[in-house]
Structures are given as C-alpha cells and as structure tokens.
Amino acid sequence: MMVFLALIIWFLSLLVFMLIIRKAIDGSRATYKLDELIQEIRLLRKEIKENKHIIDKRL
C-alpha cells in the first residue's frame, strides 16, 4: 500500500514540475523571438527560391 501511495505522490510531483517548466517556457520572450526568427527564415527561403540570381555560384 505504501509503495502505491509513494508512486502516486511521485507521479503528481512530476506532473507539477512539468507544468511549472512548461509555463515558464511559454511565458518566456525567447520563444516569441524564436517564432519570429523561424518566420523570417521561411520568408528568406521563399525569396531565395523566387530569385535564383541572388545566389553567387562561386564556392
């Protein structure tokens, strides 16, 4: 019985810990900046595909 209770307490504490970390990451400005950076990279890739003359073929 004690082992079962200990497992339940351990699982609940792990769940609370995961929720705290998720909340901290979601509230961080770094994730917002990362989303902006990803969007900018997508736009640049699209622009490069449309304008092939931008790329210098020398290596």
Distances (CA, A) of 44 to 4, 21, 37, 41, 57: 55, 32, 11, 5, 18
For the chain, give the mean pLDDT. Answer: 86
Structure confidence at residue 50 as a pLDDT band (50, 70, 90): confident
Q: CA-CA distance, 18 to 26, in Å (whole number)?
A: 12
**Would you call 55 helix, strand, or coil by DSSP?**
coil
What pLDDT shows up at residue 32?
A: 83
Q: Would you state the pLDDT for residue 41?
A: 95
- The structure tokens listed for 12 are 């609940």
pTM of the model: 0.50
